A = this chain, B = another copy of it.
Amino acid sequence: MTDSTRQRILDTAEQLFADQGFHATTLRQITREARANLAAVNYHHGSKDALILAVFQRRLDELNSERLARLQSVLDASDPPDLENVLGAFIYPALLLSTQSAGDGGRFMRLLMRAWAEHATQLHGTIARQYSHVMRAFADAVSRALGTSPDNLRQQLDFLIGALTYTMAETTDGQVEETARALIRFGCAGLRDSALAEVPQNSLKENIA
């Protein structure tokens, strides 16, 4: 492994970004804590912005592929897929990602919130592109579980994402398991009830045109 410093930089950068924010975190701070030279970041990653992107790429790839794998096995289990399991496939990987990185629980979730809040053009675009995939797959799965059209579903899924991100950001200990169960229950009820609110006047809008 030639790039042990490359990895070390990535790890400590993720930690510091989550704890202090992107702008507040210094390259000098990162390299000092990673026992690397100041120039190492520019040498291995090109620039600070590229480093930020790299930190996200690594975790989002991991998170989303895990989500899609779980979703697939849920879809294989039963043809009208079980709604609780679909939401579990979405929520659990996020929770596991938060806990497996040792120490602070909601670190990566805080990082996600940060990235989303920073609204940096490049970063936001990258994340959205990585997510559109997954979101469409889950929207389809949820709509089939509910027996409704996937059209007005993205909004409810956004509710779920917001709730997930927000609560995970400050879930510290082993209480994450319980939080996930509560969130799944909460989200399933919301989705099922919202599905009943369809049909009224939407028929002339999308079902025909």
Contacts and interface: CB of A to CB of B under 8 A. Distances in A.
Contact of A162 (B114, B163, B197): B163
> For the complex formed by this chain, how many copies does it contain in all?
2
Interface stretch (A52-60, A115-123, A142-150): A115-123
B118 A21 contact: yes
26 contacts: A19-B119, A21-B23, A21-B117, A21-B118, A21-B119, A23-B24, A24-B118, A110-B119, A113-B117, A114-B118, A116-B117, A158-B166, A158-B167, A159-B163, A159-B182, A159-B183, A161-B166, A162-B163, A162-B166, A163-B163, A163-B166, A182-B194, A182-B197, A185-B190, A185-B197, A187-B190
The DSSP consensus for interface residues of chain A is: helix
A159 B194 CA distance: 16
A110 to B, nearest CB: 6
Contacts of A183: 159
B167 A159 contact: yes
Nearest to A187: B190
B197 A193 contact: no
A116 to B, nearest CB: 7
A179 interface: yes
A160 interface: yes
Nearest to A167: B158
A186 B182 contact: no
A118 B115 CA distance: 11
